Chains A and B, each alone.
Chain A
Amino acid sequence: MLRRLILGAAVCLSGEVLAKPPGPGGFCATYPSAPACIGQQPACTLCHTAPPQRNPYGASLEPHLAPGAARPLSDGDFSLALPSALRAVEAEDADGDGVSNLEEVQRGTLPADPSSRPVDTGGCGPGQNPQYDVCRYDARFAYRRVLLDFCGLSPTYAQLKAFAALSAGGQQALLDSELDRCTTTEFWRGKNGQLWKLAHPKIRPVGSLKEGEDRGAIPLADYYDDYALYAYAQLDDHDAREVMTARYFVRRQTQPTRYTRVESLPSQSVESSRRAGNLTSAWSLISFVMFTALPRNAAAQSYRAYLGLDIAKQEGLHSIPGEPRDYDAKGVQAPACAACHATLDPLSYPFRNYNGIAGAASARYVPNRLELFFSDVSPTISQTPEAGYLFGRPVRDLLEWAEVGADSDAFAISAVTDYWKLLVGHAPSAEENAEFVATWRRFRDTHGYSVQRMLHDVIRTEAYGAP
Chain B
Amino acid sequence: MRPESLRVWLLSTVCALAACSEQPIARVVDAGSPVDGQADGGASSALARSSRNNLRFKGPERLTLDFAAALALPPDAVCQELGQYPCATVHGVTLGGVEPYNSGLYEPLPATGVTTPIAVDRVALSACARRVGLDVGTPSSAVIFTGVTLDAQGRLASRDGAPVRNAITALYQRGLLRDPTEAEVEALIQLATRVEATGSPTPGRDWMTAACFAVLSSAESVFF
Contact = CB atoms under 8 A, between A and B. Distances in A.
Contacts of A201: 106-107
B207 to A, nearest CB: 23
Contacts of A210: 101
Contact of B46 (A122, A127, A208): A127
Nearest to A197: B98
Contacts of B178: 131, 157
Contact of B69 (A123, A156, A200): A156
Contacts of B69: 153-154, 156
A204 B104 CA distance: 7
A205 interface: yes
A160 B20 CA distance: 34
Interface stretch (B3-11, B57-65, B113-121, B197-205): B57-65
Contacts of A126: 45-46, 48
A425 B61 contact: no
A148 B62 contact: yes
A209 to B, nearest CB: 10
B52 A467 contact: yes
A205 B101 contact: yes
Contacts of B84: none
Interface string A188-210: 00000000010011001111101
Contacts of A206: 101, 104
Contacts, number: 89
B51 A153 contact: no
Interface residues of B, number: 30
B140 interface: no
A128 interface: yes
Nearest to A187: B61
Size band of the A side of the interface?
A: 35 or more
A261 B206 CA distance: 54
Contact of B49 (A134, A144, A155, A205): A134
Interface string A168-180: 0000000000000
A207 B102 contact: yes
Contacts of A466: 50, 52
Contacts of B49: 125, 127, 129, 134
A207 B101 contact: yes
Contacts of B46: 126-128
B213 to A, nearest CB: 18
Interface in A405-428: 424-426
B74 to A, nearest CB: 13
Given A152-B61, A160-B177, A467 B107 contact: no
A273 interface: no
A145 interface: yes
Given A121-B52, A122-B52, 12 more contacts: A129-B49, A145-B224, A148-B58, A148-B62, A153-B62, A155-B177, A157-B178, A200-B106, A204-B104, A214-B101, A424-B54, A425-B54
Closest 3 pairs between A and B when the two form their complex, measured CB to CB: A207-B101, A153-B65, A200-B106
Interface of A: 120-129, 131-132, 134-135, 144-145, 148, 152-157, 160, 187, 197, 200-201, 204-208, 210, 214, 424-426, 466-467
